[in-house]
Amino acid sequence: MQQKSVPDQQSEILSQSEISLFRNSLKQNICVELLLDGFHRSFSEIFSLLSSDVDRRTAIEPGPSVTVPTPLEEQWDKLETMRLHLRRAEQAENTGSWAVVCDQRLVLGHYFSALEDVWLALHFFHSCADREQGGRTRPATEARARMAEIYLQLGELQRAKRQAELCLHQAEEGGWLDSDGRPLRLRALRALWRVYSRLADAPLDAEDHDEALKLLHEGHSIAVESEDKRSESEACYRLGVTYQRAGDRDTAKQLIGSC
């Protein structure tokens, strides 16, 4: 029987760090790696998010139709994506490259697009847009547009309105495009029109036609400014229907006919 050479024997001996990959959990390996490489802020942020995930899942009341999401610490792809981009963001922060910091956080916000990950998306979008340094860069402005859309989907209209207005103000200053090449200013206007349209629902339900019309007129002006013909047509139609409910049939007929 041929004896193995020394190099062959050495290649079979695993290092302590390699052994830890088998012994430790995924969360432990990623956190230890960040600490050993000096990325202390990234470690703290991931550790905090993992703790928040535990609290969120603990707060879910069990039931036959309730599905408890998979623990974040068991989802390798999400943890690895956070590790990668937070490292890059921290490296950029150390050199004062604030636009790069915000861009890495914007990437993370877009990555967590699934419904169950909305809380993570909002965390990274906020951490991108609400920064003292970099909070008025192009990536931060796009993060505000995305938050406006998310809050609108969640029915948190005042938060959506605030983010859309901030995005609009910053986009008008910078003249920026979003990641898909669309003007951020127009994206903010479209979100803002939808906010005003939704805000009009409550006074309409209460038969407060004057307040509903006030909000819908504001929304219509924004829709026209957005250069989105579909939004403008929807805004015009909603105004027409509301005038009809208020008893002004002539104005209603004119508006509905024009759209």
Helix, coil or strand: residue 246: coil
Distances (CA, A) of 106 to 50, 55, 159, 176: 20, 25, 19, 15
Q: Is residue 247 part of a domain?
A: yes
- Domain end, chosen from 95, 129, 152, is at 95
The pLDDT of residue 42 is: 95
Q: Is residue 18 part of a domain?
A: no
Task: Give the domain CATH number at 114.
Answer: 1.25.40
Q: What is the pTM of this model?
A: 0.86
How does DSSP assign 80-97, residue by residue? HHHHHHHHHHHHHHHTT-
Domain that holds residue 219: 200-259
The pLDDT of residue 10 is: 45
Q: What is the pLDDT along the chain (259 residues), one digit of tens a residue?
A: 455 554 554 445 445 555 444 456 778 888 889 999 999 999 999 999 999 999 999 888 777 777 778 999 999 999 999 999 999 999 999 999 999 999 999 999 999 999 999 999 999 999 999 999 999 999 999 999 999 999 999 999 999 999 999 999 999 988 899 999 999 999 999 999 999 999 999 999 999 999 999 999 999 999 999 988 999 999 999 999 999 999 999 898 998 888 7
The pLDDT of residue 132 is: 93
